[in-house]
A = this chain, B = another copy of it.
Amino acid sequence: MGGNLMRTVEWDNGVVKMIDQRLLPGTFEIAEFTGYREVARAINEMYIRGAPAIGAAAGFGMALAAYQSDATDRAALLRDLGVAADVLRQARPTAVNLFWAVDRMLCVATDENLVYVDDVRDAILADAQSLADEDVEINQRMAAHGAALVRPGESILHHCNTGALATVDYGTALGVIRMAHEQGKRIHVFVDETRPRLQGARLTAWELKQLGVDFTLIADNAAGHYMRTGQVDICFVGSDRTAANGDVANKIGTYKLAVVAKENGIPFYPVVPTSTIDLDCPTGDDIPIEERDPEEVVGLTRDGMPIAPDGIKVGNPAFDVTPAKYVTGIVTENGVAYPPFELSLKKMVLGE
């Protein structure tokens, strides 16, 4: 966080530490966990969010399970790890990274080169640590490619939260912004508040404040005004899933932003690790759109009053699809992909 607080999730001498993001931006509080069941509960209760951060937490949760176990032989340790894996997997059943991280730790545990159970324990911790470090390294590579697109003095529009808090550290689109700032480019950022969950107002604004980046928080509705009046130079957003043709599924509102950016000749760049580019998904129309709890839309108060009448119908799609024709380029850790995306994305993912 701002290079001076801590990572979203860390291992510290037998303790897993997480920033409790549910309390931000009001309170910065670090929660500590000494058992894997508590880690599972923290994932479930959304102390942290974002696929990479959840994956890293699960990895450290498995390491805790390994050290908690009083097994003296490998078979007993594997039994205990199997129980922990089940508990952790159930924490967020839709989080693919969670399953991937747990399986990766189980795979390490079965490495036949490890003779003693203590060696297995240490190997799991080392791999969990690698998993976290890899995320940070990928983010910094994406940031370098993205920051090269930013000219000194430019004003950047950003949607949702894609920062250190959404990852283990550094962030994706917000990592680009951080690096441009660290390169002394005197940037300014328009921060979309990002209704309904307000990740921009709650988390991105908090992160940029920590980093000392000059920014202005705006209602999502205001982004068009700033774009039309020439106050935005470039847009960076994240992407939850990118299709093989360059269609991008990202936080609701991204599509509107991309259309208006194109209309005003403003470059629009999603910043995406290649792990989220799905070459098996031909177009954005093949990406299912999750419908979320109406409370996210209506569960706010102003001056202690509800913001909507009771008992009404609410539509709350979590994501939208931005067709590739509105996307200038896609920033990955392996470089920036440009149209035609069918070719360039394949190259980024497979190195072909």
Contacts and interface: CB of A to CB of B under 8 A. Distances in A.
A316 B23 CA distance: 25
A299 interface: yes
Interface in A203-241: 205-206, 209, 214-226, 228
A111 to B, nearest CB: 42
Given A222-B316, A225-B317, 5 more contacts: A25-B308, A216-B314, A217-B312, A218-B297, A256-B256
Interface of A: 22-23, 25-27, 190, 193-196, 198, 201-202, 205-206, 209, 214-226, 228, 251-253, 255-257, 259-260, 263, 289, 297-303, 305-309, 312-317, 320-321
19 contacts: A22-B303, A25-B306, A190-B315, A195-B221, A201-B297, A202-B307, A217-B308, A217-B312, A219-B253, A219-B316, A221-B251, A222-B315, A222-B320, A224-B253, A224-B259, A226-B315, A263-B263, A299-B303, A300-B301
A314 to B, nearest CB: 5
A217 B301 contact: no
A241 to B, nearest CB: 15
Please indicate which of the listed interface residues A22, A23, A316, A320 has the most CB atoms of chain B within 10 Å of its own CB: A320
A201 B308 contact: yes
Contacts of A193: 195, 297, 307-308
Contacts of A321: 225, 228
A46 to B, nearest CB: 12
Given A260-B260, A320-B225, A23 B305 contact: yes
A300 B297 CA distance: 13
Residue from A202, A221, A257 having most chain B Cβ neighbours under 10 A: A221
